[in-house]
Homo-oligomer: A and B are copies of this chain.
Amino acid sequence: MIKHATVPEETMQRMLVYLRELDCMLREGKETFSSQELAEILHMNPAQVRKDFSYFGGFGKRGVGYETEAMVRELRAILNLNRTWRIALIGVGNIGSALLKNPELRRQGFDIVLAFDNSPRVIGKRVGGVTVEDVADLAARVQAEKVELAIIATPVEAAPGVADVVIESGIKGILCFAPCQLHVPEGVRVVPVDIPMALGQLVYRLEEQ
């Protein structure tokens, strides 16, 4: 059972997709599944599913398949999703507010415990159960509250500056909604959620189909 070292990036991404689908199977009461079944739902090759799983160990029973509940547990452990992550949100505008009010995040183990903005209009307000604080206090508060992840949901102009402050505070993982490239030192991971870019992906091959 190796972990991460030789595992393709693509495999790790698919692990998240598998977990989401297996969670769904579990809700539907499906106790066991084969690589064939899972692959069909996700429009992929069954060998791919088995190869992906096999990077982390032999979880299945030959002739039978995989046990859904056990596999969900394994996937959560592999993906570091078997615990709660404490998050700071910076930028309580439209998207920021939507995230604070979204119960799905906490349910999945992502707990936004701090929220920051630079506008006196929102500082002090309570949104989704969190009181918005002044972004000037970010570093101190992040350390006090043992926050590990940041979500940047500011306008694009502010994002690079905010990223610097976030990194300064010791945070190693940033989810960034601002449509721009963040420049971060080695050891800090950024995952972009760029909605115009996602629409771009949607559009680029629409015509030929």
A contact set with B: CB distance below 8 Å? 4, 12-13, 15-17, 19-21, 24, 41-42, 78-81, 85, 87, 93-95, 97-99, 101-102, 104-105, 108, 110, 148-149, 156, 172-175, 179-181, 187, 189, 191, 193-209
How many monomers of this chain does the complex have?
2
> Do B189 and A206 have beta carbons less than 8 Å apart?
yes
Residues of chain B within 8 A of A172, CB atoms compared: 206, 209
> Could you list 6 A-B pairs, sorted by A, with CB under 8 Å?
A16-B197, A24-B180, A24-B181, A79-B200, A105-B195, A149-B202
Q: Which of A78, A80, A95, A195 has the most chain B CB atoms inside 10 A of its CB?
A: A195
Looking at the assembled complex, report how far the CB atom of A104 sits from the nearest CB atom of chain B, in whole angstroms: 6
Given contacts A196-B110, A202-B191, A209-B189, contact A179 B102 (CB under 8 A): no
Bound form: Cα–Cα A200–B187 in Å: 17
Q: Which of A97, A202, A206 has the most chain B CB atoms inside 10 A of its CB?
A: A202
